[in-house]
Amino acid sequence: MSSTRSPLAPASFPDLPPIAGVTPRVSRAQYKTWDRCDLTFVTLSPGTSVAGVLTKSRCPSPEVEWCRDAIPLGQARALVVNAGNSNAFTGNRGRAAVEAIAARVAGHLGCLPSDVMVASTGVIGVPLPIDKAEAGLDAAFTAEPCSWESAAATIMTTDTFAKAAVSEVVIDGRIVSLVGIIKGSGMIAPDMATMLGFIFTDASVDPVFLQKALGEANRRSFSCITVDGDTSTSDTVLAFATGQSGTSRIEDENSPGADAFRSALDDLCTRLAQLVVRDGEGASKFITIDVEGAESDDSAHRIALSIANSPLVKTAIAGEDANWGRVVMAVGKAGEPAERDRLSIRFGTTQVAINGLAVEGYDEAPVSAHLKGQDIEIGVDLGLGEGRATVWTCDLTHGYIEINADYRS
């Protein structure tokens, strides 16, 4: 956790409502030598539905593998999140730690170990110490319930601020809330999700529908962000629906409230994903990249990511340099259909290139003024079709190097 708050951070932590059937607690397992809570324990009421999206890394953590096996069962009673140690690349010792955590929580709650979801984040290659995990859990079992802000802060590692959002939807004439907390700052280029994110709602939702809705929301949010082009071994986003709102159950797309719930979930996931980018390691600019005119949406997405992950584009933005040639380079290297003489580029609302040529009489002053701000827009039109995509990223500064050159110390 950094002591220097990101300049892109929101002014304050949002006001989040309690979610019926969800009780968060935190404790100190002391996975690292720091003076802070680093274990989050959330209990969930019986009958809670669970869904999740997990990293596509071929070197996943035991926690990811555990959740991958447990999520299809559709039910959850608890969540445990460890910060400071990712428990990844730790072989059988890592798996044993996850099994020990799930068993201890199951014994405490009287549920099955598979009802316990586990996630860890931090240094790779160091086995999670079972004795510290069990002591941390025992302390959490008897701790007082904590605020959402405390829970969000406890799951942080190199983050500079606690991240959360809330969305509301009306079902059966009642207000149903969705609350999300998330952590992530570096190693962000998800194939499915980003670092660790957890969503809680009191809506009654069938787990199959919840999984489908979360997967769709993920494709438009968590899978549309990048900080540094690196996908974590531990990326996990889980959604829990306790059913304690008293509203009718959303079974499928045709159920009353299904569309509204999906919309609220999409909104929540998008805002959580953007918060991660706003805390990108060393970031000073939040960058929105809009690509249109591609042959397909998937092609537009890959082109947008090529631009967003380009160190040359990101450093140009950090230096407030309107070097649109670097955007041309990133489009060209993406491996997607593109025709030079149809390509158009804008910074903010100012068109800098049209149909493969610089705009005649182009005035760089408004672009320079735009780049001095914190929220930057880059627009690309390939002129080939109807495909479009939006990706969010941040600039690349010397601060990123300082953080990651020192990460394990």
Which residues are catalytically annotated?
194
Among residues 228, 236, 195, which one has the least CA distance to residue 313?
228
> Can you state the angle between helices 91-109 and 130-142, rounded to 10 degrees?
20
* Helix residue ranges per DSSP H, 119-257: 130-142, 148-154, 207-219
Geometric angle at alpha carbon 284, from 283 and 286, rounded to 5°: 85
* Residue 386 CB coordination number (10 Å): 11
| 163: phi then psi, degrees, rounded to nearest 5 | -120, 130
The answer to the question of whether 404 is labelled as a binding residue is yes
Q: How far apart are CA 274 and CA 163, in angstroms?
A: 10
From residue 217, give the alpha-carbon distance in Å to each of 180, 213, 310: 13, 6, 25
Q: Is 183 annotated as a binding residue?
A: yes
CB atoms within 10 A of CB 192: 19
Binding residues for substrate: 157, 183, 194, 281, 404, 409
Binding residues: 157, 183, 194, 281, 404, 409
